[in-house]
């Protein structure tokens, strides 16, 4: 089902942990979550380089590929947000192995809710124009084949779990401002995926932590 505007839910989950918080989207997620009144823990490899500070922010030094560095930090949280990313074009396991490690830590801690970012181009969008399909199949999927392959593995890891997961298949990301207005489709496809700002992607993730309609679902977002 597609909607044109967001409908933020009343916050019931108060403590969240964010992975990939030092990335461009991750920092916005952290900032918006703090603004919304959440207690936020971030797991970063280099805490000294993480410049955000807030009385409700806890910074943990950890590596998503080394579970022992963050397992204790997951305990007591209400939800997990993963903004894990890779900018390289070489083979990677940061998405699949990273989320697998996160899921295992969640199971140990008794946590169910996780939202993570994938990409709209991991599959060819069926409702898109001919040119969009051509670009996705012949350019993007070739250029980012290792990243997309690992994202699909990540999606399979979550799909086989009993977690209340939401996978966001995001289109091209921009650095434009937050508007709070964008289209969404839950377990469905949007026509003509175009772009979304990282700020609005963060907006969706933070405001839909409690959206049960998005549990165990893939969500497309776009302007």
pLDDT at 214 over 80: yes
pLDDT score recorded for residue 132: 83
Give the Cα separation of 69 and 147 in Å (integer).
24
pLDDT over 90, % of the chain: 80
Query: Can you give the CATH number for the domain in which 158 is found?
Result: 3.40.50.720
What confidence tens digit (pLDDT) does each residue in 13-59 have? 799 999 999 999 999 999 999 999 999 999 999 999 999 999 999 99
pLDDT at 1 over 60: no
Give the Cα separation of 37 and 57 in Å (integer).
11
Provide the pLDDT confidence category of residue 4 given band limits of 50, 70 and 90: very low
Average pLDDT over residues 161-165: 98
Tell me the sheet residues that pair with 220: 169, 185
pLDDT over 70, % of the chain: 95
Q: Are 208 and 182 in contact (CB under 8 A)?
A: no
Number of domains in the chain: 1
Give the Cα separation of 222 and 183 in Å (integer).
5
Number of H helices, E strands in the chain: 7, 11
What confidence tens digit (pLDDT) does each residue in 171-183 have? 999 999 999 999 9
pLDDT at 75 over 50: yes
Query: What range defines the domain where residue 138 resides?
Result: 2-222
Provide the pLDDT confidence category of residue 10 given band limits of 50, 70 and 90: very low
pLDDT at 11 over 70: no
Average pLDDT over residues 105-112: 97
User: What would the two tokens of residue 21 be?
Assistant: 């918080």
């Amino acid at each position: 089902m597609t909607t044109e505007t967001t409908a933020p839910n009343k916050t019931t989950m108060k403590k969240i942990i964010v992975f990939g918080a030092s990335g461009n989207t991750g920092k916005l997620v952290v900032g918006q979550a703090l603004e919304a009144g959440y207690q936020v823990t971030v797991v970063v490899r280099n805490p000294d380089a993480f410049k955000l500070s807030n009385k409700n922010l806890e910074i943990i030094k950890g590596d998503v590929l080394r579970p022992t560095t963050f397992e204790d930090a997951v305990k007591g949280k209400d939800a997990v947000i993963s903004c894990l990313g890779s900018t390289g074009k070489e083979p990677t396991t940061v998405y699949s192995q990273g989320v697998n490690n996160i899921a295992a830590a969640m199971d140990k801690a008794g946590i169910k809710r996780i939202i993570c970012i994938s990409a709209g181009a991991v599959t060819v969008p069926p409702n898109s124009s001919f040119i969009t399909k051509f670009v996705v199949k012949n350019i993007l999927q070739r250029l980012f084949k290792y990243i997309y392959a690992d994202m699909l593995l990540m999606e399979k890891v979550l799909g086989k779990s009993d977690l209340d997961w939401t996978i966001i298949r995001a289109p091209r990301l921009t650095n434009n401002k937050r508007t709070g207005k964008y289209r969404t489709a839950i377990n469905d496809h949007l026509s003509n995926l175009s772009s979304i700002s990282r700020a609005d992607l963060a907006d969706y993730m933070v405001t839909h932590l409690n959206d049960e309609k998005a549990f165990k679902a893939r969500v497309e977002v776009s302007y």
